[in-house]
Structure formats: structure tokens, C-alpha cells
Structure 1
Amino acid sequence: MLKSHVMVIDEGTTGTRALIFDQGLNIVAQSYEEFTQYTPSEERVEHDAEEIYEKSMKHCKLAMEQAGLTAADIAAIGITNQRATSVVWDKATGKPLYKAIVWQDSRTGPRCAELNASEWGEKAKKATGWTIAPVYSSLSLEWLLKNVPEVKEKVDRGEALFGTIDTWLVWKMTGGRTHAISYSNASVTGSLNLETGEWYKEFLDYLGVPVSIYPNVTDDSGDYGMTEPGLFGGPIQIGGCIADQHAALYAQGCRTAGTAKLTNGTGSFLDVNIGEKCVVLDGGINTVIAWRIKGRTQYAMEGYAAVTGSAIQWLRDGLNIIQKSGESETLARSVENSNGIYFVPALTGLGAPYWDPFARGMIIGISRGTTKAHICRATLEAIAFSIKDITDSIGAYTKTAMTNVKIDGGASRNNLLAQFFADILDCRVDRPASVEATSLGAAEMAGLFAGLWQESDFDKAVEYDATFTCQITDENRSQRYSDWQEAVKRSSNWIRH
């Protein structure tokens, strides 16, 4: 029987989704569930890696059942994931030695400040493409080695392994036979030398983190081994792993230099393809490996705002001013403007281009006339302002203004937010009919390896259902953005006071 389907595990920051694509790149089944967010203190965000694995397998089986497929029908599995979240486990028992430290976690903020003030600030940025920040997996590992005796003991004995969530899932699914990470994920750990494509041993030695616990770096569309036969009723090839933002960049057709996409999920990530030459900028914009296919590496510049979609979740779960995230658009539309309210959603610090782990969230401009609708509208506007911070920084390097951006991710369904992007960025915003670009990119990586598709098959894979253009004046935009920048200044460096 012809294997004509690809299964994808889309491992987000708040939940796991399994999807099955047919040969026409259509989603024929999907299953989703949130997993537990552990926040033992304000600066810490953790996940249970075992829970993630178990729920991932559960929903893969549910998706297969929903589609009426067996392992014999599936050509390959593709994995896309939440990037720099770090897991350390016992390689004999397969048990995690500590909760996974999530990319949003900021416990290493003081250590980052210390390193950035030393020679390593510039050296590490030039080598890794990343400003030293809490998102660095290498610093999470340093913290674990210094603070969790069992981790240090196992690492010293050569009995522990490290990986991001893609590495962890592959290792578990292959029964411990494959310990690998994709180039895209490796480039976001703050542990990879972008020029050499090898682990940045000089920096890791300085931190006291042994390279021996790191996985093998593998092409994003590549051989990650076969799943254990008993897992899905027969072995299935794992043919691709790609970091979530990079997967969306690929799927949105941004496969040539100068093309860009904006993914709006828990955070918002702007990625601009810069081609096959590695360029590292000074300042707050990062350089990443977009993907590596058949030995050819494509690079991208990236900036992200860590708390955007999760700011809407905070309106729901923290302030309780909406019952469902989808209600944010209706509530925000109930007022004509934010009535002078600015919300800086630095709930875990500020990301690009500021990289300030000590900033904290701030709502300013409150008056007696302020309502929950104004706060809700200001939250959506803040997402757009956060992205303008990034586009302006990239524009300063490229010397060109962004004229078009393709958006995806769950929050992109919000028409008011999409319009804010067009207004604040002063560009055309295209939204695909399906905002599951991340999953599609992972499917394409796996399908390429399995020989199911050629890259040319992807040119018409994305159909756009809406386009948004700027509806405000230059003067209005300039004034509002100036006020936003002033609000950001007031929120910065807060918890050092």
C-alpha cells in the first residue's frame, strides 16, 4: 500500500497537537490538548517532559484513529516544537532529572547581565547569533549543574543527556536509539557556532557544561530514525524536525532572501529570510539557521516579543475580563480607541530589541474613564507595537522598509489585531486560510525526506483568505508609537529597583 500521509507533532508552549496531512497537503485529522504550566516563582516557567511525551503519543494515536490510518499508511513523521525549552534526562532510565526549563523562563537573568558585561557578551553574540539572554539553553544547563545535585552527579558520570523538546521526543520514540537535534533548533540554544555548524565548545567549557551531553546536529529534513514498532503498531520513519518559527517561515513560502513572516502564538516572532550567507548584527536582533536541507543552510534574522498571545491569556486567566481568548476582538471593538491606555506586556521581561529580563508589565494612562474594553484594546495594540520595535531594528540594517508580511498562528485569526499590524507597521498584511503554517512546515520537511514531495509542490500550498492595509495617517502612527516607546522606557529595569 502506498504511504501517502505525513503525521506531525506540533509541540507548542501551552499544548500538543497531532495532525495528519494527505498527499495534497490537506489536514485530514488533528487532535489537541493543553499541558500543565508550572510557575514555582514569578521568574520560572517549567514543563513536565514526561507529560508532554505521553500526551503527544496519545494525540498521535487519536489522529490516526480519526483518519482511519495505520502505521503502514504514514510515510513519515515531522516534529515542530517550542525551540529552546531544555530537558535533561537519565539515558539509562529515560526519566527527566528535572522539570523542563521553558524558553520563557527568566531565572538566569542576573547571569545574563553578568556575561553581557564581560568579553563573552560580544564573543557569544558573534558566534551564536544571539544576544546572551535567559532563552539560552546553555545557561539553563549551567543553572541545573549548579543547583540540582542529581543533574550534576549524572552528568559527571556520563549518565545524562540534554535536548530540546524535538530531541526528547525523538529519543523516546526511537527507544533511545537517536539522540539528535535539528539545525534550526540547535541555532536557538545559544550553544551553536553558526559559522561552523558545531557546538560552541569554547563557551560551553567556560560555563562548565560538557559538550558530551549535547545531541547530534541533523538536517531539518533528515533521518531521525524509526519509531519503536510497538508505539503505533509498526515502525514509522521520523523524517524531519524543525523549530516552530522556522517551520512557519518555510511553509509561508518565505524560502528566498528578503521574504518575511510573523507568527502569533504564545509570543510573536518575526523572521526574515536572509539567504545562504550568515550575517550577525549588533544589537537586539538575532540570526538563526532557518533550516538545513540536503546540506544547504539558509539563514534568517529574527526578533520576538515573548508575551503577546499569552498577554491575551492573562486577560482571560489573570484579570478575568474575558472568558475565552477569542472574545478579545469583540471587547476591544466595543470602544473606538484605547483612551490613552498603553499596556507594556513585559510579564517575563522584554524580548527583542531590548533584551531586558528585569522589565515588568505596565499599564499606564489609566483614568476614571478607563474600562476593561480599553485595556483589552491596548493589549492588542501592544502586540503590534512590539513587532514595530523589531521591524524598525531590522530595517535599520537592510535600509528598506517592510512592505508585506505574512501572518500565521492562532492570534492571527483576530481581524482587529491583523488590522493593527497593517496600521502600525504601515504595510500589507496577508493571512492564510489556515493559520497552521507551523504544522505545515514540519509536514513538508518530513515529506521531502520521504520523497513524497518536491519543494516545487509547496508553491501553491498556502491560500490567503484576507489582506489588510494601513488605515491610519503617518502622523497618528508616529504619535502613538512615540507614546509606546515612552511607556517601554518606564517599564524597563523595574525589578532591580
Structure 2
Amino acid sequence: MRRAVLAIDEGTTGTRAAWVTETGEVGGLHYQRLSVASPRAGVVEQSAAEILDSTLSVLRAAYASAVDNGLEITSVSIAAQRATATLWDAVTGQPLAPSMVWQDSRHSAELASLAGVWDQRLWPSIGRPTGVRSVYLWAKHQLEDPDHPEVKQAFSAGRLVFGTVDTWLLWNLSRETTPMVGATNATSSGSYLLGEHAYRYDYIDELGFPRELLPQLRDDVGDFGTLRPEILGPELPIHVAIGDQHAGIVGLGAVSAGQAMCVHGTGSFVDLNVGEVVPENTGRHEGALSLVAWRAAARSMYSVETFTATTGSVVDWLVNTLRLFDSAEQLSELAGRGGHSRAVSIPALTGVRMPQVHTGVGALIGGLSTATTREDVAYSVLAGIAHSVTWCLEANEDVAGLRADQVIVGGGLSKSEPLIQLQADLTGVPFLRYHDTDKASLRGAAFLAGVHTGMWADLAEAKSTLGTPDVFEPRISDAEREDRRGDWRVRVKAEIELADARVSHNSQDFRRDRKERAV
């Protein structure tokens, strides 16, 4: 009988489950869409009950497929969206408030007021600054919210449970009811000591979060109990609970130090595997975060992560809103024939993150002339994405003190060969593309569970099931690479200066208006 792992990938906009065999085959894939609400500016929420219901639905469907295919399921693994927080009642099992999604920024001003005192203390220890959202600060405010008195009542009665999505799912799926959180999800929550596998209690106390609500810290790989029998029947062991982005690192095959992952979705994430050493220059770049890549057998692998927020969404905007192109595929095909003008693009619909985090910079397509063609515009769009990825990778290397020797690419835009070639040319690093990259998080969670149970000897053997990748080698000279990168970055810095000047001018106008009204 063929062995397989049952894998869950609980994302922000949808939940998937599938089985992954010892040959790396992914099958029985089922998906259920999730709703995301934004009732007011800065607030992004989801229903934890809906998340659980969708998880149970796709898990049962994937398991039924495994049975139909005669597979022996050895364990269950969970990859979950990071830094989305939930509060629930331990007696009723019901959520007590809408979950705060990782995109939420309602408490950004309060966190900014802490930055001056805390950022320089947090960077070297937890790998990130105060940021724009905190699961702990959100929970503290929920405890004080008059619109949700049941939260405070449950806390006073000792019935309140807090956790991120992995904690919520484990509490509901496993017979083990101790609230648990894996290292990667704790890392993303913003108060996890990277080198110690422990909470940073003084910062949590500063945020006003009760320590007794903290979930128990666990490795991402280990014993998370067994499935409750009413879910599938058999009490299958749960061996992995990991952040989805981290599962993607493993599932794409970036399992050794010096390998990087680039995933193109709504935005483009770049993660550099650093190995078993905490990145040496954490905090050097505001937009580069140091993380636990995954943790197993009491040993952590580390990574540095950067991202550009609106790359896939820029392509979607050009196709569906401006209707300049019929599809992403057409844009890519046209780009393959462009590049003969000075057209330039910056994919910054919500600002830039390199060389600094600056939300005042807008997206740009410029440098146009009467000689500019549609093909040139398409090329500039993909080049802007490739430049953004290049700057991200360079920042990762700077923070890690380590050069990337290859980048493994995945996600929707990885289908564009002109884009991947541009990325290889501008970074000077080979780019690899395996098949079925859209299933990377499912595979990564399954790989970790399979190694734990002996399905594979190690992650290198699990990775071998991915097959032979397409390889995109750099084709331009070092001199041309430096010239092209330099020209594009000059334009980005000019846009930052313009945005700063605009803010300064508006501030002066505001002060003058106040003075005139006072007179």
C-alpha cells in the first residue's frame, strides 16, 4: 500500500487539503474559498468558525480521495496563514470576536508610538520592529472592548483561549486541547526570541497582554496529538503545524543554506535560507525580517524575508481595471518582444519597501515617448517586478551575511518565462522552476511530516521527488547588470524624494491655513 501524508493549507482567501505520496505526487486536492471583511479603514477580519468549517470540509474530501486511491495515511500536517489572531471560549468552543487578519493595521499608530523605545531592542532579538500590527495588542484591546464584553467575562472565568490560526485549528482538530503554537507562527506574531525559542515577555507585558493566555511554544514538527475520531474516524497523528510561507520554502526545495525562494502571488515574497545561524545583520533594512524558517528536533533553521506588496496585483490592475492587456499571459508574451525603449515601471500600488518602507510612493509607468510600443510597456512592467525582487534578494543577502547561490521560483507569475529570465539577469543568480509550484505549501508541510515519520530519510530525499527543474541562467554581463539596476533605483529614489516633498508641501499648506484662520 502506498503511503501518504494528508496536508492542509489554510490561507487567507481559501483553504486547501490534499494527499502527498512518498513519490511526491499531490492528489485529492479540494479547495474552499474564505470571506475576508474590511468594515472600516485599516481593519481586516475573518470568521474563525468559517476557517474551521472550511478546513473540516476539505480535509474530509481529501481523506475520502485517499481512501478511494488505496493510500495509507501516515500523518496530518497543517500549513496556516500567519499572524491572524483569534479569541474563543474554552467551554463552548465558540469564537468571541472576529479574527484579526495579518493585513490589519488598526493599531499602527499605537505601535508607532512604541517604536522609538522598542525597535532597536526588538530587531536583534525577535528579527523585526514594532511594525503596524500585533496579535497581542489586538487581544489586549478586545479584552477592553465594550462591544465584546463576553471576551472579558470569559477571561475572568478562566475560559478564554487565544491563538493564531494554527493554534485555533490544533485546538479543534486534535485530542490535545493545550493551546499550542509552532515556532514559525510565533515568529510572525512579533514577540519570539529567535535564538532562544522563547517569548519576549517584557515586550508582551508592554503591550498589556496577559501572559497566562500565551499558547505553549512548540517546534513546527513534532507531536501535536491525534485527530479527534469524529473528524475522519481514524485518530491520525498530527505532526506539523507551520506558517504557510515557511511550508512553501520547504515545498519549493529551498532546504539548504544559500538557497532562496521567490513566490509571486498578489505580492512577491523572497526568502533566503540562512541555515542554523541567526542572521548576523538583523535590522539593517527596515523591510527585511529575520525569521525561523522551520524548527524540528529542537533545532531551528533561519531565513530572511522581504516582499514587494503589489506585483501580481499590478498585473491584475493593468488587465482588469485599466484593460491595457487581455490577460497576464498576453502581457508576458508581448514583453518577450519588448525592451527597446526607455519605458520604466515601479510596481508600488501601496508604496515601496526598498530602500525603505515608504507608503507615499505610487505605482509608475514612465519614460514613454512616441516610439514606445505596447510590447515595451509590457516589458517595463515585468522588469519593474524583477527589479523589485532583485532589491529584495540583495537586502536579504546583506542581512544574512550570505550570498544566494540559486533562487527557486513559484506562484502565478512564475509561468512567465520573460519575467524569470529578467530576474536571473538582474540578480546574477540562476533561477529554478519546478513543476506544480502552486502546491508548494502542501508539499512542504507534507515533506516535514514525512521526514518525521520516516517516509523520507531527510528533506534532500523528499526534495528529489520534485523532479528536474527548468533553469534560467543569467545572460547579461556584470557591467550591464549594474547599469540597469542603478538606473531603475535612481528612479525609485526620485519617487521617494517627490513623495517626501509632497508631504512637506502639504504640511506647510496646512500650517499656513491654520495661521490664516487664526488671524
TM range (shorter): 0.7 to 0.9
Q: 1:243 to 1:20 in 2, by over 3 A?
A: same
- Give the whole-Å Cα distance in 1 for the aligned partners of 2:141 and 2:337: 46
Q: Is the 8 A contact 1:353 1:390 kept in 2?
A: no
Q: 1:315 to 1:62 in 2, by over 3 A?
A: farther
1:219 corresponds in structure 2 to 219
- Give the whole-Å Cα distance in 2 for the aligned partners of 1:377 and 1:47: 37
The superposition leaves residues 307-346 of structure 1 with CA deviations (integer Å, 9 ceiling, x where unpaired) of 3334444445655656765555346557546863423424
Equivalent in 468, 483, 486 of residue 478 of structure 1: 486
1:82 aligns with 2:81: yes
Residue correspondence of structure 1 range 394-405 to structure 2 within 5 A: 394-397=396-399, 401-405=403-407
1:5 aligns with 2:4: yes
The superposition leaves residues 166-196 of structure 1 with CA deviations (integer Å, 9 ceiling, x where unpaired) of 2211112126724211111111110212232
1:447 aligns with 2:450: yes
Residue correspondence of structure 1 range 71-470 to structure 2 within 5 A: 73-117=72-116, 119-147=117-145, 149-150=148-149, 151-174=151-174, 177-279=177-279, 281-283=282-284, 284=286, 285-315=288-318, 318-319=321-322, 328-330=331-333, 332=335, 336=339, 340-347=343-350, 350-351=352-353, 354-356=356-358, 358-359=359-360, 361-365=362-366, 378-397=380-399, 401-435=403-437, 436-455=439-458, 456-470=460-474
Shift in Å, 1:429: 0.8
Whichever residue aligns with residue 250 of structure 2, its letter is Y
State the structure with more CA Rg: 2
Gaps of 5+ in 1: none
Q: Is the 8 A contact 2:83 2:102 kept in 1?
A: yes
2:495 corresponds in structure 1 to 487
- Give the whole-Å Cα distance in 2 for the aligned partners of 1:458 and 1:451: 11
Whichever residue aligns with residue 6 of structure 2, its letter is M
The superposition leaves residues 432-465 of structure 1 with CA deviations (integer Å, 9 ceiling, x where unpaired) of 1221222211001222333333215324122243
Q: 1:53 to 1:266 in 2, by over 3 A?
A: farther
Shift in Å, 1:493: 10
Gaps of 5+ in 2: 507-519
Q: 1:243 to 1:327 in 2, by over 3 A?
A: farther
Question: TM-score, normalization: structure 2?
Answer: 0.84
| Structure with the higher helix share, 1 or 2 | 2
Instruction: Select between 312-321 and 300-309 the one with higher mean Cα deviation.
Output: 312-321
Shift in Å, 1:302: 1.8
The superposition leaves residues 88-147 of structure 1 with CA deviations (integer Å, 9 ceiling, x where unpaired) of 222222222222222222223222321212x21111222211122125433433444455
Aligned pairs, number: 493
- Give the whole-Å Cα distance in 2 for the aligned partners of 1:379 and 1:250: 29
Q: 1:19 to 1:351 in 2, by over 3 A?
A: farther
Q: 1:375 to 1:336 in 2, by over 3 A?
A: closer
Q: 1:495 to 1:174 in 2, by over 3 A?
A: farther
Shift in Å, 1:36: 1.5
Q: Is the 8 A contact 2:221 2:240 kept in 1?
A: yes
- Give the whole-Å Cα distance in 2 for the aligned partners of 1:379 and 1:482: 17
- Give the whole-Å Cα distance in 2 for the aligned partners of 1:46 and 1:381: 34
Whichever residue aligns with residue 387 of structure 2, its letter is F
Q: 1:81 to 1:359 in 2, by over 3 A?
A: farther
Q: Is the 8 A contact 2:361 2:496 kept in 1?
A: no
Secondary structure (helix, strand or coil) at the match of 1:187 reads helix
Instruction: Select between 335-344 and 81-90 the one with higher mean Cα deviation.
Output: 335-344
Q: Is the 8 A contact 1:178 1:225 kept in 2?
A: no
CA RMSD of aligned residues (A): 3.2
Instruction: Select between 308-317 and 155-164 the one with higher mean Cα deviation.
Output: 308-317
Q: 1:388 to 1:43 in 2, by over 3 A?
A: farther
Q: What percent of counterpart residues are identical?
A: 28
- Give the whole-Å Cα distance in 2 for the aligned partners of 1:412 and 1:427: 16
Instruction: Select between 248-257 and 176-185 the one with higher mean Cα deviation.
Output: 248-257
Instruction: Select between 23-32 and 204-213 the one with higher mean Cα deviation.
Output: 23-32
- Give the whole-Å Cα distance in 1 for the aligned partners of 2:176 and 2:375: 51
- Give the whole-Å Cα distance in 2 for the aligned partners of 1:43 and 1:174: 33
Q: 1:58 to 1:225 in 2, by over 3 A?
A: same
Q: Is the 8 A contact 1:342 1:365 kept in 2?
A: yes
1:47 corresponds in structure 2 to 46
Q: 1:33 to 1:260 in 2, by over 3 A?
A: same
Q: 1:65 to 1:184 in 2, by over 3 A?
A: same
Secondary structure (helix, strand or coil) at the match of 2:274 reads strand
Whichever residue aligns with residue 28 of structure 2, its letter is A
1:36 corresponds in structure 2 to 35
- Give the whole-Å Cα distance in 1 for the aligned partners of 2:276 and 2:407: 21
2:516 corresponds in structure 1 to none
Secondary structure (helix, strand or coil) at the match of 1:282 reads coil
Q: 1:399 to 1:75 in 2, by over 3 A?
A: closer
Whichever residue aligns with residue 293 of structure 1, its letter is A
Instruction: Select between 331-340 and 227-236 the one with higher mean Cα deviation.
Output: 331-340
Whichever residue aligns with residue 219 of structure 2, its letter is D
